[in-house]
Structure 1
Amino acid sequence: MAPITIATLLYDGVNALDVAGPLEAFAAACTGNNTPGYTIDTWSLGALDVRTESGLLLRAHRRAPERPAADLLLVPGGSGVRDPRTLKALGDWLRRHHAAFVRIASVCTGAYAVAESGLADGRTLTTHWAHANDLARRYPAVRVQSDALCTQDGPLYSSGGVTAGIDLALSIIEKDLGVRTAAATARELVVFLRRTGTQAQFSEPLRLQAMNDDGLQEVCLWATNHPDADLSVEALATRANMSPRQFARRFRSAMGITPGRFVVTLRLDRARTALAGGRVSIKRVASGAGFQSVDGFRRAFERELGVSPSEYQQRFANRRPR
């Protein structure tokens, strides 16, 4: 099978990780006999040399051709895409040339360029959680899925903030080249856990990093390290020296979710990590993550992630390359 062609648009103010993360994943994806699964081209709408948000200089392979063609067009994000002139140039270019690509994928705030082109009208996009409300306000015809890690709506793919572009690339690799190639690519990149597209951009540990309530943060950190303990509202409230009602109200204000939802999610985070680490039994995973029964664990896992624990383990467990 001939390698799948990928083109990436570069511009001043692009985020370097939005470019390098997905491209490194695609470059590492090889089929039988170590044959590359993809060929990569980088295009600029202006000068070949572009300066990233961090000041790193990148050089495009060439200027965007007059008659572009590729199987996949990647539109990375960055502060530059929100510059009115850059945004208009990207949007106009996409509007004129979108038919030359089988698929178009945006990374992080690259979704602004896709939305500007009008291609996402009536379709779903995601972007970095901090920009989702602004994207929805500016482009009301676009359905913005604010907390999704990755989305696909027809030929349009999109991912959340920065490193989620790697998750998007791995999901595309799985569709194109199969689960085994995607898993081998993840191992090559030393990606500890390949997340599913329906997973939220925030895991519970990341929510804790953003919390500014020291009293609650201490309790939540303890809960994260003891998922198999009694994590009822009453038990957590006692540890926080609050009444259950006060704790629940203050927790929701600080975290944006209920204590019960927090506990289920952190336990599933722990379970996903255990499942990805090797062939441990489902019963042991459920117990270690704090679930009272295997059946309850399976139901919660399938409801949140859309796959069974055994299927997740089969897909994502770290195995030695064959």
Structure 2
Amino acid sequence: MTIDGKHNAGYDSMSRVKDGDIIFHVYGQHLRAISRAIGDVYEQSKPNDNSFQDWADLGWQVDCKMTIVNVSLKEHRSWFKSHEGGPFNKNGTLNQSYLLALTKEQTNYLLSLVNNKDSLIDLITADKAVNGNNFVLTKSRAPLKHYDYHSIPSVNKTKGTYKLEINEEKSRVGLLGEQAVINYLKNNYSSVDYLIEGLSSNLKSGGNDDLGYDIKLTNKNSKEIIYIDVKSTKGKSNIFYMSENERQAYLEAKRHNQSYLIYRVFDLDEFSQTGHVDPIDLTKEENQPKFQPVNYQVAFKF
């Protein structure tokens, strides 16, 4: 507050900043930088600077980690106009204030304007592990249709067999997707009635990735078992891949009139920690998969 006891709403907003909050720095209708608070706000004596002489001796300080960007907001005025509130007025321009709260939708939109996504990942995830258990999945209102289910057949192994290396980014997305689905199931299935078991190596220490599914969901009352395999992507691709173990697990479940579900996770966003999920029961007649082999394991003798 000022030395005469008056408050400024923009400065008062600083008192509510928490560790991990994302802060956008804007000047001249340009997004100039993005910061992450690396601790909760705390009281601090005002700087020994003539520009602060109108303020009381004690104020707020927020320590931040910053990355520099340069994004013009003028081209996006129509979007901000239709999503007014907080820093954005009815004209789609910015209200002048020191600090204003954004809606989740506004935050996600601003993050989407930054081209260098790697710098954002480094900023947002620095000093903390990104955990899929924190992701919020929303069941898709418009599920992806016309899935193709591609299987990778196996052949007899001999000396000199070459194996395809798993892409590191693909592994990361797979980990986040599986963790997010476990979180989704816990939020949608009562622990009183259902047992949720994460069985893959992503979900359990010493887990087994050769079962053909990642999660087993058991109804404690009826003893019905649902097998769940998670397929994740950051985009909206309607194609995913199944291993021969997964295909066999699906066929085995079908033979025993059990459910085998693919939880298709898409639009997975590390910045907002959100995504969409489309559960597909392959054992239902309308979801019968079409398998098409696309890769072969090649072995030869030296």
- If the length of structure 2 is used for normalisation, what is the TM-score? 0.24
Between structure 1 and structure 2, the one with the greater Rg is 2
Structure showing greater relative contact order (alpha-carbon pairs closer than 8 Å, 6 or more residues apart)? 2
More strand by share: 2
- If the length of structure 1 is used for normalisation, what is the TM-score? 0.23
